[in-house]
A and B are shown apart, each in its own frame.
Chain A
């Protein structure tokens, strides 16, 4: 029996599940559960302590005005707690990045704003209307009179609170999709930083005019903990870590390579780069300290597996900023934030890996392919790259991938042709089952693969649909969303 079992091993090997990958996946799910439970608990604690204290009375007794004020207090507390969670999601906490990936954390950040902002607007409106009613002002003009009265000093720290609200609205308005398309990344980013100012400016009125925090020991404790955790995370992971990392590695531009029409690679070298915890598939926020470029940091994936001496990024010109990269001089200092992203082989749970990329989404895929090709356990047929582009001449890094395919156990499929509506493939009938079928033909034993997908969001959606149709379990599909 034992012998039989052992002889059966090699054949089972091909579809082998990588147990470390499974363990890591399980740990990630546990971490996700704990993080989400902690987030819910913090909001419940804030709301529960409010209700316990005087909130339940305020909401359930008294006249319309005092109830309105009660709701105003509650929405303010919960809205602010959610706002702090939003900041935590964007604070580049390593555990958040490892668990969800930077892209998904930012999706959650965005979704939370759709709850937090309305709550905070309701907070302001309810309190202004509530006070107006309490002062027997008319509904038609009372809100205006009351707002002026509040700003005039009827309650302390109202000016900063009103400014904070206005800043939050500004941040939200510049972030809706329609506005994002018309604003440059630099402007948007600068405005977004006003969000921190808003959170800071809102603090005084919470302690002076607010009746639910100061003087209520337990609420004060929860509130302080939330603020301290957020401020600490932002300072440490958004300021200190990038600063220390950039200082330590002393990154400079080594060379700039023209990769064809509209595509440029930048090679950056640095000190003790083998000690930077960067993996193939991740990205960094790059800031080149040269006139015209220093003001903004951009997220770009590294396009080659890190070799411990240099990092390479490959960029397609989409704005003035990226166009200026081609004129970078060797020796230019570089400051980075990162690396970020969970689109790495950490996520791998299967021996076989399929990498699917379109357009400039090839950059992290190219790095992962290189890492897998060089890994000792990789065998023929383990790694497949499917690369979708308009035509062979415009496909970035095509030569390198072809070289990889001839020298290493990597199978490469270049799929070229104009985009087809409703399909992620160039030549299909455009029907949904046909895409899945084409992919199954292209990649034997498809469902035994871990699949890494990177490309435009709409295109990735179609790929994910095909993978699901072809029976690839969802937990084996990993993607990186370029939200910019």
Chain B
């Protein structure tokens, strides 16, 4: 290779790699709590069925318009919502949970999608899912321990659930 072409190729190649690195790590910085290779790829989604009873406070009508602002804030209806957590990508497949919350209280959590890159990850996630669910319901939050041997599934589960709970609190 002629010297000038070699220099140009070297510079362009280095720049391309540096840009990729910067762009790649910039994503990592926003998901600092997530382990390597785990990233949120889709935000939360409120999937509360339209016809479902959303009010758990009997006798009050959340849609009535005649209330004063003070009264509204005092007796804010506690609604039960089903929120689909963030879709989290891991090296072994996507993880997503659906949380059922009343206000900000976690009532139930089910896995919508678990790591399934191959048979092995499918069996790992199948074994880990009940453990993770029990831990989450016991803790009432996303502060759950990693299931040994299923670190990516656990991390994805945590991240997806946390995003759902964050959304519920908003």
The answer to whether A36 and B1 touch across the interface, beta carbons within 8 angstroms, is yes
Scan A323-334; emit 1 where CB is below 8 A from any B CB, else 0: 000000000000
The answer to whether A208 and B20 touch across the interface, beta carbons within 8 angstroms, is no
CA distance A36 to B10 in the complex (A): 11
- Give the A-B pair count, Cβ closer than 8 A: 103
CA distance A48 to B25 in the complex (A): 12
The answer to whether B16 and A44 touch across the interface, beta carbons within 8 angstroms, is yes
| Stretch binding the partner chain, chosen from B35-43, B52-60, B78-86, B98-106 | B35-43
A19 CB, min distance to chain B CBs, angstroms: 20
CA distance A52 to B26 in the complex (A): 10
The answer to whether A44 and B118 touch across the interface, beta carbons within 8 angstroms, is no
Scan A48-69; emit 1 where CB is below 8 A from any B CB, else 0: 1111111111111111001101
The SS class assigned to the A binding surface is helix
CA distance A208 to B28 in the complex (A): 25
Tell me whether A33 is interfacial, beta carbon within 8 Å: yes
The answer to whether A135 and B149 touch across the interface, beta carbons within 8 angstroms, is yes
Residue in A33, A36, A62, A153 whose CB lies within 8 Å of B36: A62
CA distance A58 to B37 in the complex (A): 5
Residue in B5, B8, B19, B35 whose CB lies within 8 Å of A66: B35
The answer to whether A211 and B91 touch across the interface, beta carbons within 8 angstroms, is yes
Residues of B within 8 A of A45 (CB): 16
The answer to whether A57 and B9 touch across the interface, beta carbons within 8 angstroms, is no
Residues of A within 8 A of B9 (CB): 36-37, 40-41
Tell me whether B27 is interfacial, beta carbon within 8 Å: yes
CA distance A69 to B37 in the complex (A): 10
Residue in A57, A69, A208 whose CB lies within 8 Å of B27: A57
Residues of B within 8 A of A156 (CB): 118-120
CA distance A49 to B20 in the complex (A): 7
Tell me whether A393 is interfacial, beta carbon within 8 Å: no
Q: Report the interface size for chain B: residues with CB under 8 A from the other chain.
A: 34
Tell me whether A420 is interfacial, beta carbon within 8 Å: no
Tell me whether A209 is interfacial, beta carbon within 8 Å: yes
Tell me whether B23 is interfacial, beta carbon within 8 Å: yes
The SS class assigned to the B binding surface is helix
Residues of A within 8 A of B35 (CB): 61-63, 66
A410 CB, min distance to chain B CBs, angstroms: 35
Tell me whether A134 is interfacial, beta carbon within 8 Å: yes
Residues of B within 8 A of A57 (CB): 24-25, 27-28, 31, 36-37, 39
Q: How large is the interface on A (under 10, 10 to 19, 20 to 34, 35 or more residues)?
A: 35 or more
When A55-B24, A134-B151, A209-B118 are in contact, do A47 and B17 touch as well, CB less than 8 Å? yes
CA distance A70 to B28 in the complex (A): 14
Tell me whether B89 is interfacial, beta carbon within 8 Å: yes
Residues of B within 8 A of A55 (CB): 24
Tell me whether A391 is interfacial, beta carbon within 8 Å: no
Residues of B within 8 A of A50 (CB): 20
Tell me whether A154 is interfacial, beta carbon within 8 Å: yes
CA distance A33 to B91 in the complex (A): 37
Which residue of chain B has its CB nearest to the CB of A47?
A: B17
Residues of A within 8 A of B17 (CB): 44, 47-48, 51
Tell me whether A403 is interfacial, beta carbon within 8 Å: no
Q: Which of B2, B9, B21, B24 has the most CB of A within 10 A?
A: B24
Tell me whether B13 is interfacial, beta carbon within 8 Å: yes
Tell me whether B117 is interfacial, beta carbon within 8 Å: yes
When A33-B5, A61-B28 are in contact, do A54 and B118 touch as well, CB less than 8 Å? no
CA distance A37 to B12 in the complex (A): 10
Which residue of chain A has its CB nearest to the CB of B10?
A: A40
The answer to whether B20 and A211 touch across the interface, beta carbons within 8 angstroms, is no
CA distance A55 to B8 in the complex (A): 25
B130 CB, min distance to chain A CBs, angstroms: 21
The answer to whether A136 and B148 touch across the interface, beta carbons within 8 angstroms, is yes
The answer to whether B37 and A70 touch across the interface, beta carbons within 8 angstroms, is yes
B121 CB, min distance to chain A CBs, angstroms: 9
CA distance A54 to B16 in the complex (A): 16
Scan A68-97; emit 1 where CB is below 8 A from any B CB, else 0: 011000000000000000000000000000
Residues of A within 8 A of B148 (CB): 136
Tell me whether A29 is interfacial, beta carbon within 8 Å: yes
The answer to whether B120 and A51 touch across the interface, beta carbons within 8 angstroms, is no
Which residue of chain B has its CB nearest to the CB of A63?
A: B35
CA distance A53 to B117 in the complex (A): 17
Scan B69-94; emit 1 where CB is below 8 A from any A CB, else 0: 00000000000000000000101100
Residues of B within 8 A of A443 (CB): none
Which residue of chain B has its CB nearest to the CB of A149?
A: B120
B12 CB, min distance to chain A CBs, angstroms: 8
A-B contact pairs, 19 of them (CB 8 A): A37-B9, A41-B13, A44-B16, A44-B17, A48-B17, A51-B20, A52-B20, A53-B24, A54-B36, A57-B28, A58-B37, A59-B36, A62-B35, A66-B35, A66-B37, A70-B37, A135-B149, A136-B148, A156-B118
Question: Which positions in B face A, CB cutoff 8 Å?
Answer: 1-2, 5-6, 8-9, 13, 16-17, 19-25, 27-28, 31-32, 35-37, 39, 89, 91-92, 117-120, 148-149, 151
Question: Which positions in A face B, CB cutoff 8 Å?
Answer: 29, 32-33, 36-37, 40-41, 44-45, 47-63, 66-67, 69-70, 134-136, 153-156, 208-209, 211
Q: Please give me the 5 A-B residue pairs with the lowest Cβ-Cβ distance, nearest first.
A: A56-B24, A62-B36, A57-B28, A48-B20, A51-B20
